[in-house]
A = this chain, B = another copy of it.
Amino acid sequence: MDTPARANYDPRTHHMLTFHDAAQKFRDGADTPRAYLERCIETIEAHEPVVKAFVVLNKDGARAAADASSTRWKAGKPLSPIDGMPVAIKDLLETKDMPTDFGCAAYNNNQTRRDNAAVWALREAGAVVFGKTVTAELGGSHPGPTTNPFDAARTPGGSSSGSAAAVAARMVPAALGTQVGGSVIRPAAYCGNIALKPTQGGINRGERQTTSQSTTGVHAGSIEDMWQVAIEIVRRAGGDPGKPGLFGPTVTPEPVKPQRLIVLESEGWPALDGASKAAFEALMENLARAGVTLLRRKDHAWVEAFEHSIADSNFVCNSITAWENRWYQAALMEHHPNGVSERLKSTVRRAMAMNPEDYRALLQKRAAAQLCHQALAPLADAVVMLSSPGVAPLWPGDKPGQPLAPRPTGDSVFNTPSSMLQAPAVTLPLMSIGGMPLGAQLMGQQHEDARMTGLARWMLRHITPVVN
C-alpha cells in the first residue's frame, strides 16, 4: 500500500479549466477563442517542463484555427458550442497536421496525414486541435514521460497519460483519450478529472477499430465540456460502424438524482488499501445521507451473481486485447525488434501462445458477464464503484537490471469491468487522500451515457467530497 506524501489537491476547492462558460464573453467580445488559446499556451509553457503531457504542439495551426473561431463568434455564427475550444488529442489517434507516434519508438515521427474520425469531427465543429498527448506505448502498459500534475513522483495513469495530465494541469479544458482496459477512467481519476468512457462504439474510433473494447473517451474539467465534446463529435462522425453511436441531448443532460445505486466491489476490492476503502465508504455514507438507496452484493442475489461474473475481468480483458493485437504487434516486433519495449514483447509472446478457441472462450465469458449486468437494469439507476485502486502510485521509472514493474501506470482492475461490459462510465473527482485525487465512477447499461452524465451532474452538485 502506498502512503502518499501530502500533495495539494482538495476536491472541495480545486478549480478546473472550463470552456462552456466562455461563450457569452466570446459573443460580447469580452474574451476571444484566440485569447483563451494564448492562456492555455502560457499554462503549458509554465508547467510542461515537469508535467510532460505533450508529444507535439501545433501552435501556428492552433492560432490560425482560434482566429477563425474568434471571427465566427464575433459574427454570432459559431459552428457549435465548442467552436474555439482547445482540445488535446491522445497520440494514438491520427492527425493530419501532426505525427502519430503511438508512444512507440518504432513509429517515430509517423506522418499519416489523415485525421481520425473524432479529430475530423472536432475540426468540423470549430474546435482547436493543437497538440498530441503522451500515450503509454501502443495504448498498453509501457509508460511515457508524463508525470502527475499533483505530485511529479507519481504516475498520471495510462495509457491516456498526457490527456489526463493536460486537463488536470489546466493546459486544456478537454482532451481525447482511449480505453481498452482502463485507459480513460483510471488516469482521469488519478488526475482529478471528470471523464466519460462511452458505451462501446459510442464515439467513432475512426481508423482505430482493431480491438473490440477500445473506446474513444473525453477528459474534461467540467461535466458540461465533457458532454458537449462527446456529442458534437457524434453529431458529425457518428459512432463506430454498425453501432448507433452516443445517444443524448445536444446540451449537457440535466442533473438527475439517483434513487438506487448498486455498490460494486469488483475484483479489486480484496487487495484494496484501507485508506481507499475508508474514503469510498465515507462517500457512500454521503450518498445514503442524501437519500440514495444503496444495494450491495449481500443485499441481492443478482448483484452477487454479477460480482462473480466479473471476478476475473482483468484476465479476460487483457487476454482478449492481447489476442486482438497479436497479428500487428507480432509483425511490428519482428520488423522493429529494437523499436518496441520489453513489456510489449512479453505481451506478444503471451498472445502467440493463444489460438482462436481460447479467444472464443473469452468472448463467451464476456458475453455472460454482459448478461449478468443487463439483469441489474431494473434494480437500480446505476452502479457506483471506485475508479482506481487508490490514488496514483509512485513511479520511479524502470531500474536497469531489475525486473520490470508490472503496472507502471497503475492497475486497471477497477476499470476492466466497464471495458468488458462495453458499458458507459463517468468518473468524478469526489475524494482525496493525502492531497491526491481519488475518483468514483458511475457505470450504466449500454447506451445510458446521457443518463450517467445526468446522475453524475447531480452528484457533483449535491454530494460533499471526502477529504482524508
Contacts and interface: CB of A to CB of B under 8 A. Distances in A.
A245 interface: yes
Interface string A306-334: 00000000000000000110111011000
A360 interface: yes
A207 B204 contact: no
A338 interface: no
Contact of A328 (B206, B211, B234, B335): B206
A362 to B, nearest CB: 10
A394 B36 CA distance: 60
A327 B363 contact: no
Interface in A237-269: 237-239, 241-242, 244-245
Contact of A210 (B115, B209, B328, B331): B209
A355 interface: yes
Given A96-B335, A117-B328, A244 B363 contact: yes
A242 B212 contact: yes
A327 B124 CA distance: 10
A249 to B, nearest CB: 13
Nearest to A359: B238
B327 A120 contact: yes
Nearest to A211: B241
Contacts of A236: 327
Given A206-B210, A209-B210, A234-B356, A114 B328 contact: yes
20 contacts: A96-B335, A115-B331, A120-B328, A206-B210, A206-B327, A207-B328, A209-B241, A210-B241, A212-B241, A212-B242, A213-B242, A235-B355, A235-B356, A236-B327, A238-B326, A238-B356, A239-B356, A242-B363, A244-B360, A244-B363
Given A114-B331, A244-B356, A244-B360, 6 more contacts: A117-B328, A120-B330, A121-B327, A206-B210, A206-B328, A244-B359
